[in-house]
Amino acid sequence: MTAAARRWCFADQLGPHFLDRSDQPVLLVESRAVFERRRFHRRKAHLVLSALRHRAAELGDQATFLRTRTYGEALDRVAGPVSVCRPTSWAADRFVRSRPGIEVLPARGFCTSRAEFGEWAGRRRTLRLEDFYRDARRRFDILMDGDGPAGGRWNFDADNREPAPRNAGTLGVPEPWRPEEDDIDAQVRADLDRWERDGSVSFVGRDGLREFPVTATEVQAALRVFLRKRLAHFGPHEDAMLSGDRVMAHSLLSAPMNLGLLDPLDCAHAAEAAYRAGHAPLGSVEGYIRQLIGWRDYVWHVYWHFGPDYRRRNALGARTRLPEWFANLDADAVGARCLRDVLAQVRDHGWVHHIPRLMVLSNYALQRGWQPDALADWFHRCFVDGYDWVMVANVVGMSQHADGGLMATKPYAAGGAYINRMSDYCGGCRYRPGERTGERACPFTAGYWWFLSRNERHLAGNRRMNRPLAGLRRLGDLDEVVSQQRRLGRSAP
Ligand SMILES: Cc1cc2nc3c(=O)[nH]c(=O)nc-3n(C[C@H](O)[C@H](O)[C@H](O)COP(=O)(O)OP(=O)(O)OC[C@H]3O[C@@H](n4cnc5c(N)ncnc54)[C@H](O)[C@@H]3O)c2cc1C
Ligand code: SF4
């Protein structure tokens, strides 16, 4: 195919690094059917359309921008050769390969290539994140002093698990960058309102001013603020939650990065430069770089490595449907303070940081045996940074243990004691983290024992579960715990 091929950029391939030349002809497609098929969060629909339309405006005549119902209709209207970087889902990948005359290039927007991952994975029986991450540090020569890790340590996780500061209210970190809406946002809002009114699409969540970058210029501004003012605080309280500070020191860059606006390797190099210049401590910088060149790339490759059926794995046989209050983000129906607050944040912003995702939302679902693929679909639709590739490994693999332990050596199930230690939620809650039966039984504590008792046989061979299972066997009131949880069923706690 000639170098003049028009580059089709999907709505999550919007950065300059998806083009071979700055003047390459571009095809952008806004497909209405994407929004008709699934009930997305309103803020997510806004963000994606705003980013796509901003890119079209930026490229001007260089781009052919088509608004059609389906991708197929758009491609039928394009003459000449088309190339595309590998799309980010199995479905889109199948689609582009089924169309004659489209050249599919290797994926971009990730650090490690498929060949490098294949080479790394081929040498191993288990795919441990820590091994992958260290290999990536060496390959990219990031945070290295000669052959060894900068500062003599690969891993600062132990330092980066401090609980929430007591009686602090907030972490006291400078505010993240926030965008100002423009005419394109106003048009997007008007279109979404109209589509909703004419009944062709329906959304979950609440609308509100756009909170994330949608252009390469905006994203660079957001990255600068993070590196200069917030990165230094990133590490120590990475795993903590504060009811009065939903963002803490997190970067808030996953949404623009997943739109393809930011190259993760550039971010990692910029974070290292901040460390070398003495602007941020090693623990925070290592923690951030680990997320980027480690976790993010790792879940991307796991998605492709384990094949299209990975999403349907259900090793623990979890078959309960998601309840309506959860599916509809009805936080007001919930009394448990941690869950109510986190669900309200999802409803109002389409974003919460890693620990509420893993240890509140997913933990609650895991404890109650909700269907892993339905939960993955819920995360995909309700989060501004949710895409198929990132959901399957994080939800089905990591959070629900539905892959039988390919990604995590033990299930991420935890009781109220964990949430109490890592947050300030429990003090103002109607439940008590130490109680597992009765009116004030904490749903997370009771749910934890219910989960263990349901899955005891399955988990018995796992050495890391020996202690929790021994605790389960000592529990005198287990029957009462289980019958109370069964009675509550799918009702909001
Ligand atoms: C159940 C569950 C669902 C998740 N869903 C998503 C999702 O839909 N989209 C998404 O991008 N991340 C997802 N994550 C990972 C992580 O929670 C988010 O990337 C992070 O909270 C985004 O906020 P941030 O940009 O402030 O991240 P930071 O805390 O600042 O982290 C830095 C960056 O690391 C990357 N990262 C860190 N961990 C992961 C991970 N496990 N998977 C992928 N990228 C990672 C992100 O790009 C992020 O911007 C999920 C995690 C869990 C446990
Ligand atoms: S007591 Fe239980 S339900 Fe209430 S905030 Fe604490 S962990 Fe959440």
* DSSP SS3 for 53: helix
Q: Which two tokens stand for residue 56?
A: 């079209």
Tell me, yes or no, whether 459 and 396 share the same domain. yes
Tell me, yes or no, whether 90 and 66 share the same domain. yes
Tell me, yes or no, whether 341 and 421 share the same domain. yes
Tell me, yes or no, whether 315 and 408 share the same domain. yes
Q: Which of 250, 231, 232, 227 is nearest to 240 (CA)?
A: 250
Pocket test for ligand 2, best of 334, 368, 419, 448 (most atoms within 8 A of CB): 419
Tell me, yes or no, whether 415 and 342 share the same domain. yes
Tell me, yes or no, whether 251 and 323 share the same domain. no
Q: Does some domain include residue 189?
A: no
Domain that holds residue 317: 310-488
* DSSP SS3 for 268: helix
Assign residue 449 the CATH number of its domain.
1.10.579.10
Q: Does some domain include residue 188?
A: no
- Cβ–Cβ under 8 Å, residues 267 and 223: yes
Q: Does some domain include residue 183?
A: no
Q: Atom 22 of ligand 1 has which residue's CA nearest to it? A: 254
Q: Which of 178, 111, 175 is nearest to 139 (CA)?
A: 111
Q: How far is the CA of 476 from the centre of ligand 1 (A)?
A: 39
Where a domain ends, among 85, 105, 125? 105
- Cβ–Cβ under 8 Å, residues 160 and 185: no
Where a domain ends, among 78, 105, 132? 105
Q: Does some domain include residue 206?
A: no
For residue 3, what pLDDT is reported? 55
Does ligand 2 lie within 6 Å of residue 422's CB atom? no
Element (H, E) at 340: helix 337-349
- How do the pLDDT tens digits run along the chain, 493 residues long? 555 799 999 999 999 999 999 999 999 999 988 999 899 999 999 999 999 999 999 999 999 999 999 999 999 999 889 999 999 999 999 999 999 989 999 999 999 999 999 999 988 878 889 999 999 999 999 999 999 999 999 998 888 888 888 888 899 999 999 999 999 999 999 999 999 999 989 999 999 999 999 999 999 999 999 999 999 999 899 999 999 999 999 999 999 999 999 999 999 999 999 999 999 999 999 999 999 999 999 999 999 999 999 999 999 999 999 999 999 999 999 999 999 999 999 999 999 999 999 999 999 999 999 999 999 999 999 999 999 999 999 999 999 999 988 888 899 999 999 999 999 999 999 999 999 999 999 999 999 999 999 999 999 989 999 999 999 999 999 999 999 999 998 999 9
Q: How far is the CA of 197 from the centre of ligand 2 (A)?
A: 39
Q: Does some domain include residue 444?
A: yes
For residue 384, what pLDDT is reported? 98
Q: Atom 3 of ligand 2 has which residue's CA nearest to it? A: 336
Q: Which two tokens stand for residue 449?
A: 């024992």
Assign residue 134 the CATH number of its domain.
1.25.40.80
The DSSP bridge pattern shows strands 144-145 and 148-149 to be antiparallel
Q: Which of 182, 246, 249 is nearest to 218 (CA)?
A: 182
Q: Which ligand is closest in space to the CA of residue 261?
A: 1
- Cβ–Cβ under 8 Å, residues 363 and 413: yes
Q: Does some domain include residue 199?
A: no
Tell me, yes or no, whether 153 and 248 share the same domain. yes
Report the alpha-carbon distance of residue 423 to residue 409 in Å, rounded: 25
Tell me, yes or no, whether 252 and 329 share the same domain. no
Q: Does some domain include residue 314?
A: yes
Tell me, yes or no, whether 272 and 421 share the same domain. no
Q: What total number of domains does the chain contain?
A: 3
* DSSP SS3 for 214: coil
Where a domain ends, among 105, 126, 159? 105
For residue 431, what pLDDT is reported? 97
In sequence order, what E strands does 86-125 have? 102-105
- Cβ–Cβ under 8 Å, residues 119 and 17: no
Q: How far is the CA of 354 from the centre of ligand 1 (A)?
A: 6
Q: Look up residue 186 and give its amino acid.
A: A
Tell me, yes or no, whether 287 and 320 share the same domain. no
Residue 358 alpha carbon, nearest atom of ligand 1: 53
Q: Does some domain include residue 208?
A: no
Q: Which residues of 418-447 are buried (b: 16+ CB within 10 A; e: fewer)?
A: bbbebbbbbeebebbbeebbeeebbbbbbb
Q: Atom 5 of ligand 2 has which residue's CA nearest to it? A: 426
* No. of helices (H) and no. of strands (E), the chain: 22, 7
Report the alpha-carbon distance of residue 423 to residue 401 in Å, rounded: 24
Centre a 10 Å sphere on the Cβ of residue 158 and count the other Cβ atoms it contains. Answer: 9
Tell me, yes or no, whether 355 and 469 share the same domain. yes
Tell me, yes or no, whether 169 and 284 share the same domain. yes
Element (H, E) at 50: helix 42-59
For residue 381, what pLDDT is reported? 97
